[in-house]
Structure 1
């Protein structure tokens, strides 16, 4: 909504500038018409660049938000898997105590418990990696925010340039 308002404001400024340039063309000679044409072209290119920057920053922000959401969902899934692995380990230990008198089964249960511990450690490592990735995404989000602030400043400078060009394009008394 804000970008649309900015685009409309820029469009209005460009229409006003074009009207002013048309009026100055009628009053000035061929040389001024050429200068005004170049000024319009430069302003059009700068406005096009500013609009494309706004579009790409907005698109990048949406993508980063989507990545963060997916990473949080994945982290929740890993947490649930880890909790289930903990429950399995407790149950395996209980089964091991119940069948302790059977040496073959007892040995197999110990081996299963060791595998469960390895899986549990792997899941814990994945949870840590997800945490680091979440921190990296936060850094990216901060960088994107800083880029948006810079583009906002650029747009303000482009607006100021438009005002300066408008002032320069006015006929001298």
Structure 2
């Protein structure tokens, strides 16, 4: 969602019950991604992470052939609801500034100008300016170190048949991928 309450994008994925501390959504290659500007078909596997009450979400893309990390994208958002592995719909409000991680794991931030324009139009955005940029700087550092929330993100996607696995099999594959 955008700050004005309108939907910016929507897609369907599979919740992976990997942890009670965060919610992880796997979106396989070929999934239609519906965005306000148009719909496109996902060309790489994707994992999205949500932490309850966090000011960010993390989206990671993996190569469809061998599962290696291709890109990462961290949205600074309004704190999310306390989602669980049984939640049917996960919604977040994007605050426009982002951390981007390239395939070589270099990191940069973007869209500060978009945030500034939104802050002029929406008082809420201006009210959360300081916290948003603190989170942005923190995420950038965590991404560089692959620490904090990134510690639960594998650098290589170990499997692509998640929907066929038991919870125990998923968690075992996940633990192995993080070592």
TM-score bracket, normalised by the shorter chain, equals: under 0.3
Higher share of residues assigned helix:
1
Q: Which has the higher contact order (CA 8 A, sep 6+)?
A: 1
State the TM-score, normalizing by the size of structure 2.
0.23
What is the TM-score normalised by the length of structure 1?
A: 0.24
Return the structure number with greater strand share: 2
Structure with higher Rg: it is: 1
